[in-house]
A and B are shown apart, each in its own frame.
Chain A
């Protein structure tokens, strides 16, 4: 049974994106992604004020197995980062869709996220990759 939240959208590179309704989006990696990476030991977040471009890497998550880039699914400016992850990267393992959020982006074009996957589309992508 899928536990992919239906209140947000998903990128093929395994980030989730939640519309905060004020022109900003909260971004993190999916539960599936943290499962593949295994226990995280380090998270490198962008700085507040950084301009990010859709599809470009802007953060890094590192596990004992691998370091992996995190790509921003939208274009805009980073307005907040989850500083609680500093020193507690396991939060992403425990709660990828909630307390494990990574950063918030203020977007210029709110319609940009429409092209991303919905929960059903993302579940289909995972099924296909497996």
Chain B
């Protein structure tokens, strides 16, 4: 920690603010009486400390990063460069419409592009992340039922393979989440779905392809069943890479969708934000879309607000979501075009299936061997854990020694000793082959020297962390002198 380099009185004068800050007008009660415990270091120490930290970073810029369900792909630098143009970057969010026509044109076109790509009737860009998109989506389902006086609906159905955010969003919107089991082929158990549906069903939340990495084949039938019961269908867009340009949620019968632009549309994911989770809806949910949205009358672009959209579920943030992420997504979509978007899903699916086949040939077990993978797939290391005592976490840690970020481990929860692998569309064949060779090597190591694998990583700046002790003895408030 930088505090460990701190010595009283050490300064980096060149970096200090040149003027004294005016404290006048701040009530006495709110002023500090003692100095905050800030690190006192020289400029050189600060530079070295943070440069060293950045060198320890395990990132997509330096390593293969097949983290399933997260889509850690390469995002073209040019999207960021263009989104950082002064006209975009320096625009004040309160600037009048007349001064923001270019920016608003980008957002308007992005609404249109997403509408076309997903087959939805209308799109609002404003949710600031995937979870907020889900909150908006379920909120619209609630508004729809309430508006019709259909107030007895109290349940949202969620498959057991779902992202944890799905049941959480349902509960946040006042619904009870009811779990639907997954069949042994990876698809939803239709009989269980039928028995769960009823007049209390507000809707169902699905990810398709699902988190087990397969395309729900009976989606049309599921849509008919849910609609016949008076419920609506929610599409979690986490896995949009697998279907972009190929099949559209709107055509599958979904009523509402959120898209993670920070996964699929050119914003690096996994850094904790900022994200963007636009929502798209079918015609009957259109009045409830969150605001603001951008409208175009043929001449001018303008914000749609409460005045234009009285039935909206309202605003989710002060302005129109994370503008920078939206602009990057717009540029990415324009660079790819319609054909490029087809190729995203083709390559992401091809890469996943190639990797799955080769790993199966190497002796690894697929969780759903009879199914074609979508853009990600699941291995189960049950056999290795049982026979060799080397589990998924040990494989994951050993991968780090070979310069590969570990795939997602132990999610989804329904597959034992689960390794969820997503190579993404931006990896070359050589890199996929190298991953197979590394997995083969670790498998041999697990057989010949299991203890070494169980103690991995051996070459990282920190060795195996005691995550159990860290969780049991939480210590989050470090201060100098501790």
| A residues adjacent to B (C-beta < 8 A) | 36, 39, 41-42, 64-66, 89-90
CB distance from B394 to the nearest CB of A (A): 13
Given contact pairs A41-B472, A89-B472, A64 touches B413 in the complex (Cβ within 8 A):
no
A-B contact pairs, 14 of them (CB 8 A): A36-B416, A39-B468, A41-B468, A41-B471, A41-B472, A42-B471, A64-B467, A64-B468, A64-B471, A65-B410, A66-B410, A66-B413, A89-B472, A90-B472
SS class, residues of chain B in contact with chain A? helix
Instruction: Please name the residue on chain B nearest to A39 by beta carbon.
Output: B468
For B468, what are the chain A residues with a Cβ–Cβ distance below 8 Å?
A: 39, 41, 64
CA distance A39 to B413 in the complex (A): 16
Instruction: Please name the residue on chain B nearest to A41 by beta carbon.
Output: B471
Q: A66-B413, A89-B472 are in contact. List 9 more A-B contacts (CB 8 A).
A: A36-B416, A41-B468, A41-B471, A42-B471, A64-B467, A64-B468, A64-B471, A65-B410, A66-B410
Q: How large is the interface on B (under 10, 10 to 19, 20 to 34, 35 or more residues)?
A: under 10
For A66, what are the chain B residues with a Cβ–Cβ distance below 8 Å?
A: 410, 413
CA distance A36 to B413 in the complex (A): 11
For B416, what are the chain A residues with a Cβ–Cβ distance below 8 Å?
A: 36
For A36, what are the chain B residues with a Cβ–Cβ distance below 8 Å?
A: 416
CB distance from A109 to the nearest CB of B (A): 25
CA distance A66 to B471 in the complex (A): 12
CB distance from A20 to the nearest CB of B (A): 30
CA distance A64 to B471 in the complex (A): 7
CB distance from B159 to the nearest CB of A (A): 16
Instruction: Please name the residue on chain B nearest to A36 by beta carbon.
Output: B416
For A90, what are the chain B residues with a Cβ–Cβ distance below 8 Å?
A: 472
Q: Which of B450-482 contact A (CB under 8 A)?
A: 467-468, 471-472
Instruction: Please name the residue on chain B nearest to A69 by beta carbon.
Output: B179
CA distance A89 to B471 in the complex (A): 11
For A65, what are the chain B residues with a Cβ–Cβ distance below 8 Å?
A: 410
Instruction: Please name the residue on chain B nearest to A62 by beta carbon.
Output: B471
For B413, what are the chain A residues with a Cβ–Cβ distance below 8 Å?
A: 66
Instruction: Please name the residue on chain B nearest to A89 by beta carbon.
Output: B472
For B410, what are the chain A residues with a Cβ–Cβ distance below 8 Å?
A: 65-66
A41, A66, A89: which has the most chain B beta carbons within 10 Å? A41
CA distance A65 to B410 in the complex (A): 7
Instruction: Please name the residue on chain A nearest to B416 by beta carbon.
Output: A36
Q: Which of B394-411 contact A (CB under 8 A)?
A: 410
CA distance A39 to B410 in the complex (A): 14
Q: Which of B304-362 contact A (CB under 8 A)?
A: none
Per-residue CB proximity of B27-39 to A under 8 Å, as 1/0?
A: 0000000000000
CA distance A65 to B472 in the complex (A): 13
